[in-house]
Structure 1
């Protein structure tokens, strides 16, 4: 028989006084101030951590209390609310709990939270809770389900589409990346009879035609809870799809910070050729580390037909590729072919179909002088042991010569963007642990403000002299492959064991996430394994509010055009998942760099406690240091100084606005008026929530890491 445990019954009449809100109807001068900050109460589990990660990435301020830590802050009326200049203040606009009641029986903390939520109409998110009547749902044993839902196809309900999840097209697929690992666990059940419960996301109960709630809103006792009955981590696709809606629900669509879905693809080495992988030598002739005397380079270069295909593909996808070009490829081609370069002619004729980035004239290595007499190469040194560096004038010449050629041929360039060959000039471990000291001055000589870097080496944006890096994700579609079989052969060599004929990198570094248990078939491995994996990794970046670009090479658009299945997978999956009001944001490099730089400054200010914001009725006031760009997500129709704020995205408006160090006041539309506080009442009696199952596939992500 179920044991009922009652919390202490406290009247809100007593708690209201402690929380600072006068009884009765609020007057204009006592309308409460609600600070735009979220309270996250964590039990150390992955679900509350996932929501905290979402808030961090978006730049939404929050306070986290870890229930597992000794000496933690006690949650009481004074912690939750006070009075500022005679006006009652709610210190948090939303509360996130690990479940519907994570406290022990008779908890005064849960009573304080319940009274606070009632008094100030503060919503509560139950990050992952057991389906039970205290959460508005029947126990799963009564016709519901408890267990794995790996591979399930959940769906947003009509109410969910009309409410916080209106940016989704309808389907919410659950990952099943490894059949041997339980990755998702859920409690599926229907609302208790008579409960005021609205399902927002449902899945079919196994063995039935009925559906059970996975995410829904439960209204009771003057409170609102978003009840989530499946467990997740911050990287799983199902959470990434629903994260925006969870935040919008709990903040009422009024919060600092912003989130969009970004995707940009840089195609390197355009006009040039890329040397082909040699499956007999397990290296790439022409590369400095492929020293076999019998190695003969076999270049891969786009054709005019490949350009036509790229243009048609862009138009069909409403997406623009960024072409990072090396002019010497065309110059050499014309010198060797009586002035003819059909590829360059077609690219130049279609130049306005693409965005263009200076990739240096010859793609030469711009770091230290390489000693290629040894494998792997080392930095050459002087007789005195000093590193020999490529000179400032050589670097500057590579940049300026390529720019002049591009301008002469009418390429629509942004002159402050640059990607060096192999991201050279910047530090590269282990051979070159510091930047070429001549790089920053050469960048300044040419007015370079944005410098592409390799995210796998340097994931954090940084300054290189006056320039700022833009980390780019390398896609595992190799530069030296124009055909699927070549790609698979090299992939097998890298990611299989030495006993299987591979490089052994996985034996030397077991943390490598793309290791193979056995070689892939060269005829089917690309379509069956590499394409789905690379699609999933790239789509994960898109869904993570991550604007960093991805990069491939011109060889991948040539011959068998092996990049397109991955790009189609990303954009096709996205189109299937999202409503038209939430398009992919496709920025050029300098705009990505600006976004990253603004975010870093904003998040630094937020974490330092230099940003405050609050709402009184339809007025939102934000204070931030002078020079900081302020970001917020607000309802459509919000104005700043009488001018419309932000741009439309996902059913709201969001954007950046500069702070002059004085408070900014934004005016919400009348339709966004804050809900009125509830009348005094008795705090609800509830049982502490029972334990919930967390499978290994949530604790340890399957199969890739956040950066991979």
Structure 2
């Protein structure tokens, strides 16, 4: 199933009841999905499950296309700026299959309500298509004006920046396509020096059939203006969006799911969930501490001052108790990547005592555990540390001197045996190598250790962690597939906030300010500082909010890849918790109870990525066919490829309930078989399709939308800048 585990439930601490989605019938009615709408000849048409995205190259249509792509929802894009593009006419939009009328697209996304010249035959074809087949249209970003059911934004409403504003989901939005949200929709203000949002706020035209779903206060007025709303007119339905966005902005990420649910009636291929997993590396071992005088970490291969000894950071039994209590309070499970030699060596050096390991073993089942190799050895090439940075050592014949297959295999097997002997709940197919070693490390080691794959096969490893910052795509290494992990900028060599800030300052400031100069050498670095942070306040004031925002962005992006920190960050001042708390607290404040964080382990994350890749390859190759006729959905895909689909609650497959509930809908991965997948949608009382009569105000498709403003912070996403 698509969500094999929803964890323990993020919102255990919530006291208030939230407004739930209405009955299945009411939800479908709100989304406007006309079950069984008959064609003029009385035949129920076939509606293909594919979206038409008409793009002008702007960020708004690009954001919606990116949302569809990430979810695995098939779409066709027509770029209005591209010469030789297909002409949008009746034949492009519809035809007949086996004597049945077919609508090729279940929804249409336009840059605005009418991006064509006055009197355009293409817009007329779209209008007729939408009327004939009851196809909804999304206006990705348009000017508030009577043609979209709103009063003009300039004058009685507002036209301007919404940076830092909090919009709200209306009652109609909560009972309809945006019911997965708690209500608040904050607009980001990441850099006060850059305009990041722009909107037109206004109220519906008198007599217009317009329902606001998301609105915000009109400055200087008591009224609230629509930002997202549904306009029914001329026998058509439009989702009118009057603010601009890009695919990365939080306000879009919050609303993207609802936009797709509205345009598809909650029935589409692909699926989207909000994922968060955190791996804690080096558990049972110790991590060497950053040295602020040397600007490096004694004990590391590139920090070789013989007069300075390493200063290890290691968790205590009290830190274990804190971790378990934190998990219980958050309804969240950490994944612990452990090195058994850390405990074995500690016992040898302390007369057999190791309170940390004893405490961990007493609560072993509270966590998920991952093999991190026995000693955390570097499993790539032999490192020549006589130079800084290190380089790969070579044999007498000039070949790279690689760590052997036997050495790699021993590191894996010894750690697994220790874990099994001590009753750790392991998945033997999961592995995190020390520093992701064995995999390529540029520039020193541009290829994988050739002995890594065979050693993985020796030990049955099928899911191998990689560093997303340098190896982001899932790929095969021997029998294993990689699981890219996001590194958090909470450093492995910091147990206290002040040393974290000191290292952060060194990395991200200029050489003239005593820093590394990385930002001068690589201007694309997104976390550069104009000046050093205060070591007393910089962590709480700058690093925590920034890392929270970055991680939450991943969570909201339908991205299952895990984040990783280190055991040192759970020790001493326990500096990881403010970031983790920030992510989970902000998430809890934004989402309803039926949309919890999905907290998967490494194996399940890897499988999710693998299924997505196979599915997308089949879609891109044109090997997927999906359509609905009345209340039946049919999907044909290559045998063995798992099909992701999102449906309305109450859908059945072969007479059995289909899918797992999430965000008011149900979804699942279903392996394709020789026979097409057939899904029966729930019966519902749905209002008749909108009247085909012209709108009362006489507006129609012949009036192109005026130009709208797109600020720099949307056309080019705002970098991670320090707050003033």
Normalised to the residue count of structure 2, the TM-score between the two structures is: 0.93
The equivalences for 1:336-485 within 5 A come to 336-485=349-498
The equivalences for 1:298-317 within 5 A come to 298-317=311-330
- 3-state SS of paired residue (2:262): helix
Q: Are 1:178 and 2:191 an aligned pair?
A: yes
Tell me which residue corresponds to 2:80. 67
1:691 to 678, 699, 707: 707
Q: Which deviations, in whole Å up to 9, do the C-alpha atoms of 1:33-65 show, x marking residues without a partner? A: 000000000000000000000000000000000
In structure 1, how many angstroms separate the alpha carbons of the residues matched to 2:650 and 2:686?
12
Give the conservation status (yes or no) of the 8 Å contact 1:624–1:661: no
In structure 1, how many angstroms separate the alpha carbons of the residues matched to 2:381 and 2:146?
67
The equivalences for 1:115-134 within 5 A come to 115-134=128-147
2:149 to 129, 136, 147: 136
In structure 1, how many angstroms separate the alpha carbons of the residues matched to 2:516 and 2:345?
35
In structure 1, how many angstroms separate the alpha carbons of the residues matched to 2:38 and 2:207?
32
Tell me which residue corresponds to 2:255. 242
In structure 2, how many angstroms separate the alpha carbons of the residues matched to 1:223 and 1:676?
8
- 3-state SS of paired residue (1:51): helix
- 3-state SS of paired residue (1:599): helix
Q: Are 1:84 and 2:100 an aligned pair?
A: no
- 3-state SS of paired residue (1:567): helix
Q: Are 1:515 and 2:528 an aligned pair?
A: yes
- 3-state SS of paired residue (1:655): strand
Distance 1:680 1:691, change over 3 A: closer
Tell me which residue corresponds to 1:658. 671
Deviation of the 1:701 alpha carbon? 0.7
Deviation of the 1:208 alpha carbon? 2.1
Give the conservation status (yes or no) of the 8 Å contact 1:37–1:94: yes
In structure 2, how many angstroms separate the alpha carbons of the residues matched to 1:138 and 1:447?
65
In structure 2, how many angstroms separate the alpha carbons of the residues matched to 1:286 and 1:671?
67
In structure 2, how many angstroms separate the alpha carbons of the residues matched to 1:179 and 1:142?
26
Tell me which residue corresponds to 1:93. 106
- 3-state SS of paired residue (1:569): helix
Give the conservation status (yes or no) of the 8 Å contact 1:235–1:540: yes
Consecutive unaligned residues of structure 2, counting only runs of 5 or more, are: 1-36
Deviation of the 1:678 alpha carbon? 5.5
Tell me which residue corresponds to 2:173. 160
Normalised to the residue count of structure 1, the TM-score between the two structures is: 0.95
Q: Which deviations, in whole Å up to 9, do the C-alpha atoms of 1:273-303 show, x marking residues without a partner? A: 0000000000000000001121210000000
Q: Which deviations, in whole Å up to 9, do the C-alpha atoms of 1:377-405 show, x marking residues without a partner? A: 11100121100000000000000000000
In structure 1, how many angstroms separate the alpha carbons of the residues matched to 2:652 and 2:434?
45
Give the conservation status (yes or no) of the 8 Å contact 1:618–1:673: no
Deviation of the 1:703 alpha carbon? 1.7
Give the conservation status (yes or no) of the 8 Å contact 1:100–1:135: yes
1:592 to 605, 615, 618: 605
Tell me which residue corresponds to 1:7. none
Deviation of the 1:675 alpha carbon? 5.9
- 3-state SS of paired residue (1:478): coil
Give the conservation status (yes or no) of the 8 Å contact 2:467–2:487: yes
Deviation of the 1:142 alpha carbon? 3.1
In structure 2, how many angstroms separate the alpha carbons of the residues matched to 1:678 and 1:644?
35
Q: Are 1:149 and 2:165 an aligned pair?
A: no
Q: Aligned-residue CA RMSD in angstroms? A: 1.4
Deviation of the 1:206 alpha carbon? 1.4
- 3-state SS of paired residue (1:460): coil
Q: Are 1:106 and 2:106 an aligned pair?
A: no
In structure 2, how many angstroms separate the alpha carbons of the residues matched to 1:23 and 1:660?
32
Q: Which deviations, in whole Å up to 9, do the C-alpha atoms of 1:590-633 show, x marking residues without a partner? A: 00000000000001111111111000000000000011000000
Divergent runs of 4+, >4 A? 21-24, 672-683
- 3-state SS of paired residue (1:79): helix
Give the conservation status (yes or no) of the 8 Å contact 1:617–1:674: no
Deviation of the 1:644 alpha carbon? 1.2
Distance 1:310 1:672, change over 3 A: farther
Tell me which residue corresponds to 1:701. 717
Q: Which structure is higher in RCO with an 8 Å CA cutoff and minimum separation 6?
A: 2
Deviation of the 1:100 alpha carbon? 0.3
In structure 2, how many angstroms separate the alpha carbons of the residues matched to 1:84 and 1:675?
25
Give the conservation status (yes or no) of the 8 Å contact 1:76–1:109: yes
Give the conservation status (yes or no) of the 8 Å contact 2:654–2:679: yes
Deviation of the 1:686 alpha carbon? 3.8
Q: Which deviations, in whole Å up to 9, do the C-alpha atoms of 1:154-203 show, x marking residues without a partner? A: 00000000010000000000000000000000000110011000000001
Tell me which residue corresponds to 1:220. 233
Q: Which deviations, in whole Å up to 9, do the C-alpha atoms of 1:91-123 show, x marking residues without a partner? A: 000000000000001101101101110110000
Deviation of the 1:674 alpha carbon? 9.5
In structure 2, how many angstroms separate the alpha carbons of the residues matched to 1:667 and 1:313?
43
Deviation of the 1:664 alpha carbon? 1.1
1:203 to 197, 206, 216: 216
Distance 1:237 1:685, change over 3 A: closer
Distance 1:685 1:241, change over 3 A: closer
Q: Which deviations, in whole Å up to 9, do the C-alpha atoms of 1:429-462 show, x marking residues without a partner? A: 0011111010000000000000000000111000
Q: Which moved more, 1:139-148 or 1:689-698?
A: 139-148
1:625 to 613, 629, 638: 638
In structure 2, how many angstroms separate the alpha carbons of the residues matched to 1:23 and 1:543?
39
Distance 1:349 1:100, change over 3 A: same
In structure 2, how many angstroms separate the alpha carbons of the residues matched to 1:594 and 1:51?
26
Tell me which residue corresponds to 2:3. none
Give the conservation status (yes or no) of the 8 Å contact 2:548–2:583: yes
In structure 2, how many angstroms separate the alpha carbons of the residues matched to 1:141 and 1:150?
18
Q: Are 1:286 and 2:299 an aligned pair?
A: yes
Give the conservation status (yes or no) of the 8 Å contact 2:274–2:596: yes
1:331 to 344, 349, 374: 344
- 3-state SS of paired residue (1:671): coil
In structure 2, how many angstroms separate the alpha carbons of the residues matched to 1:464 and 1:413?
21
In structure 2, how many angstroms separate the alpha carbons of the residues matched to 1:425 and 1:325?
18
The equivalences for 1:661-680 within 5 A come to 661-671=674-684, 676=689
- 3-state SS of paired residue (1:566): helix
Give the conservation status (yes or no) of the 8 Å contact 2:339–2:415: yes
In structure 1, how many angstroms separate the alpha carbons of the residues matched to 2:345 and 2:220?
66
- 3-state SS of paired residue (1:670): coil
- 3-state SS of paired residue (1:56): helix
Q: Which deviations, in whole Å up to 9, do the C-alpha atoms of 1:120-139 show, x marking residues without a partner? A: 00000000000000011000
Give the conservation status (yes or no) of the 8 Å contact 2:229–2:239: yes
2:582 to 569, 592, 607: 569
